[in-house]
Copies of this chain bind each other. A is one copy, B any other.
Amino acid sequence: MMKKAMGIGGLFALLGSLPAMAQDTAAEVAPIIDKGDVTWMMTASALVLFMTVPGLALFYGGLVRSKNMLSVMMQTTMIAAVVMIVWVLYGYSFAFGGSTSPYWGGLGKLFLAGVTPDSTAATFTDGVVLPEYVFIAFQMTFAAITPGLIIGAFAERAKFSGVLLFSVLWVTFIYFPIAHMVWDGAGLIFNMGAIDFAGGTVVHINAGVAALVWALVLGPRVGFGKDNMAPHSMTLTMVGAAMLWFGWFGFNAGSNLEATSGATLAMLNTFVCTAAAIVSWALVETITRGKASGLGAASGMVAGLVAITPACGTTGPVGAIILGLAVSPVCYFFVTTVKQKFGYDDSLDVFGVHGIGGIVGAIGTGILMAPGLGGMGGEDFAIGAQVMIQIKAVLITLLWSGVGSLILIYITKAITGIRVASDDERQGLDLTSHGESAYHS
């Protein structure tokens, strides 16, 4: 078990040098493509798209005022579309292009050079491979959703062209490198031994920090703290959250790359950690304000999903429940107390839920892997040491994404601008940026 658990992070190690390897081993044992795996990875890829649109678009869109609904949906959609193109052009290469640099994947696979229907990508298991196309597609969906998470911070006021420019810059200079660092065998963080099964650091902390920086640089919405900015449709927010949950099975269990017992553990954990986080958010609300709200349940749902993301492959189900119970109160404290205290307007709480939830998850991963806690770590697993590694990985991400995002926001500001005129903001971005209204009778 130890070997396998330790190997989890190692999966992607093989990918960088994959085509080479495929040729080498061809002479020895032909690697196997199992159609069950292929089906799972196709299903998982489709599920992660579903998380983005309509999932994330609805979760976020429901939270804004109706005059900004379409702007949120457009940002999610257009970011995903642009990043997919970027991914084929150079993103896949930057992340998994086969270079031995600890920081990026190089230029070896620009335009997917050399990838054919016969190309394969490695999995966790020696001798078991996937068609490279499905690995490209799966990883692409991760790249496409991550910058979309950030938009919650600047919702209802950011300039559309700036959002798109920033997103391209951000995946180029922040996401692709960090994906390489965490998941590639040559990667910096990977080689530290950090465990991040499905992308807690790469996706959630990464986006969460960028979001915080945005909120600080951009300033609050016009009328913030005075106008009623209640969610225009809690219904859609709850639908979006549920869709995120559904799609997240692809995200988490798909990260196993094979339809093995390990994937089913990731799935079970993605069920029960989320359930526990829903319950604990509802409990905190019941205690502090007497009522459990729908937004609380949805927030707990997402917080739980974020927290289990890095941990889902190495934690036992009971450990997952504990992680879920723990994450919501921490996030709740951030989005209610800390945010209010500092007064920044992270409009849809990207930092409070994804950033903080991601940090809780990353550290929790280091703890709950312990076999004594039902985790999948080996007998010689040491909580303290692993937690230190996890914290180091978190800090690198905080730094890289924090400083990098700050620079990129200012570059964007200089080129396209980052905020609409306040009259436009008042009238709503749907009309002023996109020329339409979300609802008519």
Contacts and interface: CB of A to CB of B under 8 A. Distances in A.
Contacts of A142: none
Interface residues of A, number: 111
Given A73-B235, A242-B53, A260-B38, A81 B279 contact: yes
A145 B247 CA distance: 18
Contacts of A264: 38, 41-42, 130-131, 133-134, 137
Contacts of A131: 260-261, 264-265
A80 B246 CA distance: 14
Contacts of A69: 234-235
Contacts of A436: 230, 234, 293-295
Given A40-B35, A40-B39, A276-B85, A238 B57 contact: yes
A47 interface: yes
Interface stretch (A111-119, A189-197, A210-218, A347-355): A111-119
Contact of A88 (B137, B231, B317): B317
Contacts of A81: 274-276, 278-279, 297
A172 interface: no
A305 interface: no
A294 B1 contact: no
A261 B117 contact: yes
25 contacts: A38-B259, A39-B259, A40-B43, A45-B249, A45-B267, A46-B47, A46-B267, A57-B239, A70-B234, A70-B293, A70-B294, A74-B293, A77-B238, A77-B278, A77-B297, A84-B272, A85-B279, A88-B317, A112-B317, A131-B260, A137-B267, A137-B271, A141-B271, A233-B438, A291-B434
Interface of A: 1, 4, 33-43, 45-47, 49-50, 53-54, 57-58, 61, 65-66, 69-70, 73-74, 77-78, 80-82, 84-85, 88, 111-112, 115-118, 130-131, 133-134, 136-137, 140-141, 160, 228, 230-236, 238-239, 242-243, 245-246, 249-250, 253, 258-265, 267-268, 271-272, 274-276, 278-279, 282, 289-295, 297, 301, 316-318, 321, 376, 430, 433-441
